[in-house]
Chain A
Amino acid sequence: MNGPSTGRGPLGPAAEALLIPVGALVAAMLLFGLFIAMLGQDPLAVYGLIWQGGFASAFSWQNTLSRAAPLILTALCVAIPAQAGLMVIGSEGALALGGLAAAVTGHLLGEASPAGVKLAMAGAGMLAGGLWILLAGALRQYRGVNETISSLLLTYIAAALFNHLVEGPLRDPASLNKPSTDPIGTANMIGSIPGMDVHWGLIFGVAACVLAYLLVRHTTWGFALRVVGGNARAARLAGLPVGALVLGACFFGGAASGLAGMVEVAAVHGSANASLMAGYGYAGILVAFIARQNPLAIVPVAVLLGGISASGGMLQRRLDLPDATVLVLQGMAFLLILASETLYGRMRLFRGAEAGA
């Protein structure tokens, strides 16, 4: 990279990392206000409703956080392999299979002690999700198959496999019109965070993000991974086990998604059924990209997305706006945040005079 300056302006790089995305968000809100005015609605009222729906009260915060929770884990499925230079977009499939594995494990162990069953479900979910994404990594590492395409195609295979098993061999005969696996039993459900109406997926997600951040930024394994991401050939020349690193990153990413599937089963649905595939995996891709593949940035980005989606309901209910209105806001916000990336290192305010070469 030859453009960006490394000098220092009146404000430091930390302020840059905060102010640029926030500025982009403000710009997106202004644009959205214009769009709303064109629809004949009052932009100020809309801003008020967005605030009220997503962030104004304890209730709306819980609404926002519960929508953000699954996205944090699925975004990690993209962000961890990205450290090794892989663009994996198969989180939806890993989530589905992780959920299925967890549901089957929970049902099989149904009578054992709940703590053990929960642990086994989490393990099974992570293993299934991890192996699924590892498959994409192995195809890339050993057969030269583009991992973006293969992980996307693997998602279709996962969905087909999932539907076949849930509607066939693993179907609970009592689930007539909504085919599901056998229930894991109420004793094995993990429930909500005490005092909040948000499930444990939020805590798992935040913990996984912190863990991933430490792993990537503060261990030799993480350093090696980033070397592979920077230049795989150079990493190999330096004697790094590139294959193992790539496969490991894919496994950890997939395991995060698999855990998201386990949480959906054990905290929400109580069994595996088609509702697991609600698009969390795809939304996670968006979150990871906006967070610039930084595990710690995933949390606020997911909360932002959750808040927009919570507010979207408010806009629909109060102003009779279609659901697509929210997609417009989401699109504008994320497009501008991504576009604002080009500003890094190019503003004198943050990085001194010789920027923009």
Chain B
Amino acid sequence: MASKRSYTRRDALRVISGASALSLIPGWAWAQTKLTVGVIYVGPRDDYGYNQAQAQAAAALKKLPGIKVVEQEKVPETTDVQKTMASMIEQDGATLLFPTSFGYFDPHMLKMAEKYPKVRFAHCGGMWTEGKHPKNTGSYFGYIDECQYLNGIVAAHVSKSKKIGFIAAKPIPQVLRNCNAFLMGARSVDPKITCQLIVTGDWSLPVKEAEAVNSMVDQGVDVITCHVDSPKVVVETAEKRGIYSCGYHANQAALAPKGYLTGAEWNWLTVYQQHVKDALSGAPFKNFVRGGLKEGFVKMSAYGKAVPDAAKKKADATKAAMLKGDYVIFKGPLKDNTGKEVIAAGAALKQTDPVLEQMNYLVEGVVGKV
């Protein structure tokens, strides 16, 4: 089977450099099963969030002929996950693994990859580095800040108080990039909008998340989004308090029929299918895959009832530009919220620019501290 993606020079080099040994995958555990895929989640599969987004892709894989999927949920980032990976390989015959939590990579997945060199390990996150990490490991991730930018555009159209809010788990680059994109999307509509940031401190703290929403509503914030593992509590609390929300990770429309505007969703099936196809055909493992809206790695939730036509029009136009692949969100002159210039005038950082993955500032208009 030929890959749909055209080969780059890097891919070709990888083939020559002997990664093709991977194609010598041993016999299958089950007669009709051509490939067993293992998927590991850090939380529950039905969390309306990070894990559900992965589980949806796994569920779709199960429908493909000859593919067997084994899943395990609530696996902590300790030796537990090492043993879970080893069990999937030794006991279930899995040869392609998706350990989906960020903290599974180092040292857990790397250790198992060394022990099982013929198994392919595809990790969600951006950690894989050429020359540093084994060839049978890789990272996949998506430019979901594009969707947060579109969330911001829609939010700006419905906000009356001109105050929007972002609830973050941790002040790390991925999260800050989403928060900044959300505000910048909003400011592309109305430059006076501000975004209140609250950092809860961890990936899953439902009580703090609810408190954060309540305190934001009390301060006059009327549209909210977040970056926590499960946006369920945030979206539900926002609905209860009668404000609007934009989703994250997966679709939360069912939780807030009135206030859910749209949302930034992962579309991991694109990645899963690619890796399955390569594993089946024996094609070399793609160690580093990234993509945004254009590549189909991320998508937007369908617009809710409350979204006005003007918002749809503006968001759709921006989305169309992003789908073409040349839209730049982070360009100069850009100041952070302490007044320091972070991107010089004239500079434009493309989505693929690694500098963006070290983001350690909040842009002007975000109320909060890193």
Contact = CB atoms under 8 A, between A and B. Distances in A.
B39 to A, nearest CB: 10
Nearest to B107: A270
Contacts of A268: 78-79, 107
Given A63-B86, A63-B87, A317-B70, A179 B78 contact: no
Contacts of B76: 275, 278-279
A270 B103 CA distance: 13
B337 interface: no
Contact of B90 (A59, A278, A322): A59
A198 to B, nearest CB: 9
Contacts of B84: 313
B173 A177 contact: yes
A318 B72 CA distance: 10
B44 A323 contact: yes
A323 B76 CA distance: 12
Given A278-B80, A314-B87, 7 more contacts: A66-B82, A163-B201, A163-B202, A167-B171, A274-B202, A275-B78, A278-B77
Interface string A300-318: 0000000001100110111
A280 to B, nearest CB: 8
B324 interface: no
A226 interface: no
A268 B103 CA distance: 12
A320 B78 contact: no
A317 B72 contact: yes
20 contacts: A163-B201, A163-B202, A167-B170, A176-B357, A177-B172, A197-B86, A199-B79, A268-B78, A268-B79, A268-B107, A270-B107, A275-B76, A275-B77, A278-B76, A279-B76, A310-B83, A310-B87, A313-B75, A314-B91, A317-B87
Contacts of A92: none
A178 interface: yes
Interface string A312-338: 011011101011000000000000000
Interface in B50-95: 70-80, 82-84, 86-88, 90-92
Given A178-B102, A179-B170, A67 B79 contact: yes
A153 to B, nearest CB: 16
A314 B357 CA distance: 37
B79 A176 contact: no
B79 A323 contact: no
A182 interface: no
Interface in A261-312: 264, 268-270, 273-275, 278-279, 309-310
Interface of A is mostly: helix
B129 to A, nearest CB: 11
Interface in A224-274: 264, 268-270, 273-274
B174 interface: yes
A70 B45 CA distance: 26
Contact of A63 (B77, B83, B102): B83
Contacts of A309: 80
B236 to A, nearest CB: 21
B88 A275 contact: no
Given A177-B126, A177-B173, A317-B92, A322 B73 contact: yes
Interface of B is mostly: mixed
A177 B102 contact: yes
Most buried by B among A53, A63, A273, A313: A313
Contacts of B173: 176-177
B358 interface: yes
A316 B172 contact: no
Contacts of B263: none
Contacts of A163: 201-202
Contacts of B49: none
Ranked 5 nearest A-B pairs via Cβ: A317-B70, A275-B77, A278-B76, A323-B74, A63-B83
Contacts of A60: 91
A23 to B, nearest CB: 30
Contact of A316 (B73, B79, B107): B73
Contacts of B247: none
A58 to B, nearest CB: 10
Contacts of B90: 59
B72 A176 contact: no
A320 B71 contact: yes
Contact of B103 (A63, A70, A275, A316): A275
Contact of B80 (A67, A197, A199): A67
B259 interface: no
A273 B105 CA distance: 13
A250 to B, nearest CB: 26
B71 A316 contact: yes
B138 interface: no
A316 B58 CA distance: 14
Most buried by A among B91, B92, B170, B202: B91
B125 A177 contact: yes
Interface string A174-187: 00111100000000
Most buried by A among B38, B77, B202: B77
Contacts of B86: 59, 63, 197
A53 B88 CA distance: 11
A176 B175 CA distance: 11
Interface in A45-78: 52-53, 59-60, 62-63, 66-67, 70
Nearest to A63: B83
Nearest to A269: B107
A67 B201 CA distance: 27
Contacts of B125: 177
A62 B83 CA distance: 9
Interface string B152-172: 000000000000000000111
A323 B75 CA distance: 9
Most buried by A among B75, B83, B92, B171: B83
A11 B350 CA distance: 78
Nearest to A327: B74
Contacts of B75: 313
Given A177-B102, A178-B103, A316-B71, A278 B170 contact: no
Contacts of A279: 76
B83 A67 contact: yes
